[in-house]
Amino acid sequence: MRQDVRPIAPSVIDDAVLAALEEDGAYNDVTTLAVVHTGAWGRGTFLAKQEGVIAGLGVAAAAMTALSDEVSFDAAVQDGDCVSDGTELAEVEGPLPALLTSERVALNFLQRMSGVATLTRAYVEAVDGTDARILDTRKTTPGLRHFERYAVRVGGGHNHRFSLADAVLIKDNHIAAAWDHGAADLGEIIAQARARAPHTARIEIEVTTQEECQEAVAGGADIILLDNMPLEEVRACALAVAGGAVLEVSGGVTLENVGAIARAGVQFISVGRLTHSAPSIDISLRIGRV
């Protein structure tokens, strides 16, 4: 794993794991209570069933150990490792009822986060050799933003603003609302945002045409978001801006076109599908009695 990957705060992990266990009825697992002896001891192996980038081992460990302090979790790989089908990821051992009750929550986190990391890695590799960075968006699963954002970092991507409170991003609906209240042009909207936002905040604004891009540059925008813009227009905007503002592309970005977008001269490419459409990696947990 990259050494600079910022971890998830342990308190965030603990809260999410306990909420997931509660949601799953872990404290009244009627099946396990009915068929498993309370004193039984078990051992299990997390096994990758397809190639992928692993993320979320610490979260899986927290889930597996939440119900009993006698459970041990020993990882055989690290977050960020690319594994093949059949790779053993971790071993767990402890009271069999605790292992059986917590396995689904642990797998849900591990599979989901590994899927996000795997898709992110593919996008990052597709822009290798360029100066563009791959960003995520706020299009995350409610309640799982910390985890999906961490998985993006593990995959080699970078995080956009975490929440609405983190940065100024003037989007199309903000612009329409400002026009309804008398704003004359994008420059006036940018000036209004700069006057009202914290003095340390950079101002980003969304545009959809070359003309709007030029207007945003003239208005002093720090970052310009080129939204769903054809590649030819992205290139034209990059040439016209020539360092006058940071350029970010969003909308319609795929693995097939992201390399060309990166080579067009933009600094950032935000990809919503990293978190809203990443398929989970197939991982199993085989548990047996000791």
CATH number at residue 181: 3.20.20.70
pLDDT of residue 4: 78
Same domain, 244 and 148: yes
Exactly one of 81, 103, 136, 206 is catalytic; which is it? 206
* Residue 93 placed within a domain: yes
pLDDT at 183: 79
* Domain range for 142: 126-276
Tell me, yes or no, if 133 is annotated catalytic: no
Is 121's pLDDT higher than 60?
yes
pLDDT at 30 (0 to 100): 98
User: Can you give the pLDDT at residue 2?
Assistant: 54
Residues 271, 132 share a domain: yes
The single residue of 43, 133, 138, 139 carrying the catalytic annotation is 139
| CATH code assigned at 107 | 3.90.1170.20
Q: How far apart are the first and last CA of the chain?
A: 33
132 and 248 belong to one structural domain: yes
What's the pLDDT at 185? Answer: 92
Prediction pTM value: 0.96
**206 is a catalytic site residue:** yes
Q: Would you call 273 a catalytic residue per the annotation?
A: no
Look at residue 3 and tell me if it is in a domain: no
Q: Are 155 and 192 in contact (CB under 8 A)?
A: no
Q: Is 49 a catalytic residue?
A: no
Is residue 290 very low, low, confident or very high in pLDDT (cuts 50, 70, 90)?
A: confident
Q: What confidence tens digit (pLDDT) does each residue in 168-177 have?
A: 999 999 999 9
pLDDT in tens, 140-196: 999 999 999 999 999 999 999 999 999 999 999 999 998 887 778 999 999 999 999
Domain count, the chain: 2
Catalytic, 139? Answer yes
Asked if pLDDT for residue 105 goes beyond 60, the answer is yes
Q: What is the mean pLDDT of residues 43-51?
A: 98
Given a cut of 80, whether residue 3 has pLDDT beyond it is: no
Q: Determine the pLDDT at residue 184.
A: 80
Give the per-residue pLDDT at 181. 79
Task: Pick the catalytic residue from 79, 81, 148, 227.
Answer: 227
Using the predicted structure, report yes or no on whether residue 277 has a pLDDT greater than 80: yes
Which of the following is catalytic: 104, 133, 161, 263?
Answer: 104
Active-site pick, 171, 211, 232, 286: 171
How does pLDDT run across 4-26, given as a tens digit for each residue? 799 999 999 999 999 999 999 99
